[in-house]
Structure 1
Amino acid sequence: MSSKFKPGRSGNPAGKPKGRENSATTLARRALQEASPEILAKLIENAKAGDPTALKILAPRLLPTQRAIAPIELPDTSTPEGGAEALVQLVAMVAEGSMGHDEARSIASMIETSAAFYQGALKFSEMYRVIVEVVCDSDPEVQRRVINGLKLLSNTIGQTDSKFLNRA
């Protein structure tokens, strides 16, 4: 059985474009934006008069909750093992209730970024080592050019590994 509509094609190509708001939503948003100064003034007036609902709405915006983050000791995250150990420690802290999910997620993201950076640095260092070993067996002029190119590249991206570069 065939359908008159083809997969991936709109049944109404001249219809409302994707992402465009409904016109009623646009009108309501515009009306709210225009009235917002008066609404805010009335909300403040009601809060000053002691209206608990108005106070409940305004209080979090006037006095945002500030959560103190207690310093924590984590293992060195520059190795995959240390990163894994730190993540296990975070999970344990969440499980025991000494750290919230959002805090743990933030710290885990930093650990992941740190691990990716160190992995990149290790790969880059290994690439230097292989290139230098190959170049060291070649013509001295080629060695000089390749080593200078690697030094330039390492300065460009902030990675230097003088142990390998100074062998030539």
Structure 2
Amino acid sequence: MRKKSEIAGKKQDTRFKPGQSGNPAGKPKGLRNRATLALEALLDGEAEELTRKAIELAKGGDMAALRLCLDRIVPPRKDRHVAFALPAMNAPVDAVKGLASIVAAVASGELTPSEASELTKLVEGYARVLETIDHEERLKALEGRINGNKS
């Protein structure tokens, strides 16, 4: 079955072109959402009073208001730098040493279990990369031997 554009006598290229927006006449940069603008207009001039009320409710024991205030004062914790030296890993088997050092660090209290979990993922990923490289090198060596013997 033919497409409408083919029936009209021409074939259209409907694929996206590199560097060209799918909708060049789309939303301009910096344009703000209408709901956000309406909410800001409603709260204009009331922010200080609402903040003061939330603080008063928090001081009075309102747990939701207290949580709201604390969320604004103390932002959610993000990743932090973990100063931990892993042993050198040059072969997949070296991952065992890396994981052993992580386990020892958790046992001694140097790392938290969640930090250890993230480091373990890193070691496992690195070991997989080393394993892939090792397999590729071994495969090339075998292919070289096979191709060398056939000549």
TM range (shorter): 0.5 to 0.7
Contact map agreement 1:77 1:86 (CA 8 A) in 2? yes
Contact map agreement 1:78 1:118 (CA 8 A) in 2? yes
Shift of the 137–111 alpha-carbon distance from structure 1 to 2, 3 Å rule, reads same
Partner residue in 1 for 2:74: 63
Deviation at 1:45, TM superposition (A): 5.2
Contact map agreement 1:83 1:115 (CA 8 A) in 2? yes
**TM-score normalized by structure 1?**
0.50
Partner Cα separation in structure 1 for residue 70 and residue 90 of structure 2: 43
* Equivalences for residues 144-163 of structure 1 within 5 A: none
Shift of the 45–78 alpha-carbon distance from structure 1 to 2, 3 Å rule, reads farther
* Deviations 1:43-95 (CA, angstroms, capped at 9, x unpaired): 85543335143133342355223564332111122323321111111111111
Partner residue in 1 for 2:56: 49
Equivalent residue for 1:106, pick from 118, 136, 146:
118
Query: Percentage identity across aligned positions?
Result: 20
Contact map agreement 2:92 2:130 (CA 8 A) in 1? no
Q: Give the ranges of 4+ consecutive aligned residues of structure 1 lying more than 4 Å apart after TM superposition.
A: 41-45
Paired amino acid for 1:70: V
Looking at secondary structure, tell me which structure has more helix per residue: 1
Number of aligned residue pairs: give it. Answer: 101
Which runs of no fewer than 5 residues in structure 1 stay unpaired?
1-36, 140-168
Shift of the 106–50 alpha-carbon distance from structure 1 to 2, 3 Å rule, reads same
Partner residue in 1 for 2:147: 135
Q: What root-mean-square deviation, in Å, do the aligned CA atoms of Structure 1 and Structure 2 show?
A: 2.8
